Amino acid sequence: MAARVMFVMNTLLRGTNASFTSTGKTSSACGVNALGLGSLAFPRAFWTSLVFMGSVGSATLAVASSSSSSSSYDSSFATTPSSPIRCEASAPAAAAPSAEHQNSAAGRLRKWREKNWEQNNTAWHKQAVNGALGKYAHQLLVAPRDGTKAKEIYDAQGGHVVLFPLSGKTLDIVYAATRKEVASVVGVEGVRLAVKEFAREHPSLDLRETKTTPGGGLLGRFLPAIFKDEATATETWEGGRVTILRADWFDATLSDAKATAVFDRGALVAIHPSLRESYVSQLETAVVPGARVLIVGIERQGSASGVAMGPPFHTTVDDIAALFSSERWSAPILLETKGMDDGGPLPERFAKAGLTAVNEQIVLVERK
């Protein structure tokens, strides 16, 4: 390779949210692009110098600092696009993700990581298998209908492929992996710390990171962890019958999952209502015709302001029916309405919000 590039990177200024994009005409015209660094994002990265050595052509560097986004799954997305560092040559290469897209993805994952997982503020995580999964597993994991793609996969795999969206470190994954009707389990979780804790707490699964897509081209895999962006990088963890995809749900490529069953407890109700259609669109790419989805919805009762708050957001069977198009999904079946957390006392935070009751609605839908 004609271009020789040496980077000297030291930490100097916290809070810079810079993206590295290339607009080079050809890889030889821009040595950085030749090494596959066409779309490399360094959130909260700190630079003192970039030293280019060798034949890299003309380059223009510009660095701008921006405050980190505070957007999250449970808030409207306010983004502050940052000015990129650019390696410019005479013609465009593949376009990098927009700054707005990067910031929204990075912001929502950062919120869950910093305010929840790093602070051990994970009240939604239960130290037991979810009661709805245990009670209705026989309906979720029933053999798919004959003539469906789900039945074809079920027969070929010797059981279901069960998907857990926004899986955290739920014990439901471990439970599903032990079921005789299940061939494999796939979890999708955006926060790296959650995946690491899950792997550490279940050593019998022997989960190991087997594949990394760093979001930084050819050299991205060699970057220190501090420079890896959860919003663009992905990892695959595998152990036995369990696979965890560490990726942002809304950006992940899920078509390879080919799930025949899905358990959604704490995913649809956790995201902001403005993202629900996008969530369902992603779900549709992850499942095959004939797949069943068991959803634990939330019914809030009380003041209008309390009902509108979240997460968990008010998500009833009627909301689910509106989201899951009748062209692609069967009519949702309400299996049960029960008090949240199996009828325990109303948590104080809900009472303070003006709520009189918070119920769970267990809903079953099937992909046509």
For residues 118-137, one letter each, b for 16 or more C-beta atoms within 10 angstroms of the residue's C-beta and e for the rest, the string is eeeeeeebbeebbbbbeebb
Poorest-pLDDT segment among 62-71, 193-202, 344-353: 62-71
The 10s digit of each residue's pLDDT in 240-292 is 999 999 998 998 999 999 999 999 999 999 999 999 999 999 999 999 999 99
Token output for 231: 């919003």
| Sequence-distant contacts of 28-31: CB under 8 A, at least 24 apart | 28/2, 28/3, 28/57, 29/57, 29/89, 29/90, 29/91, 30/3, 30/56, 30/57, 30/59, 30/87, 30/88, 30/89, 30/93, 31/2, 31/3, 31/4, 31/5, 31/55, 31/56, 31/57
d(CA 339, CA 296): 12
Query: Is residue 87 within a helix (H) or strand (E), and if so which, with residue range?
Result: strand 85-88
What is the reported pLDDT for 228? 55
What is the reported pLDDT for 74? 38
The 10s digit of each residue's pLDDT in 96-112 is 444 444 446 566 667 65
The 10s digit of each residue's pLDDT in 178-236 is 999 999 999 999 888 999 999 999 999 999 999 887 664 444 555 554 455 665 678 99
Q: What is the pTM of this model?
A: 0.68
What is the reported pLDDT for 38? 35
Answer yes or no: is pLDDT of 95 > 50.
no
Beta bridge partners of 299: 359
Percent over 70 (pLDDT), the chain: 60
What values do phi and psi take at 162, rounded to 5?
Answer: -105, 130
The 10s digit of each residue's pLDDT in 298-317 is 999 999 999 999 989 999 99
Q: Are 37 and 20 in contact (CB under 8 A)?
A: yes
What is the reported pLDDT for 185? 98
What is the reported pLDDT for 206? 94
d(CA 172, CA 35): 42
d(CA 245, CA 237): 6
Token output for 167: 């899986």
The 10s digit of each residue's pLDDT in 159-187 is 999 999 999 899 999 999 999 999 999 99
Is-cis flag, bond preceding 312, omega within 30?
Answer: yes
Token output for 118: 């790093």
Domains and CATH numbers, the chain: 17-117 (no CATH), 131-190+248-366 (3.40.50.150)
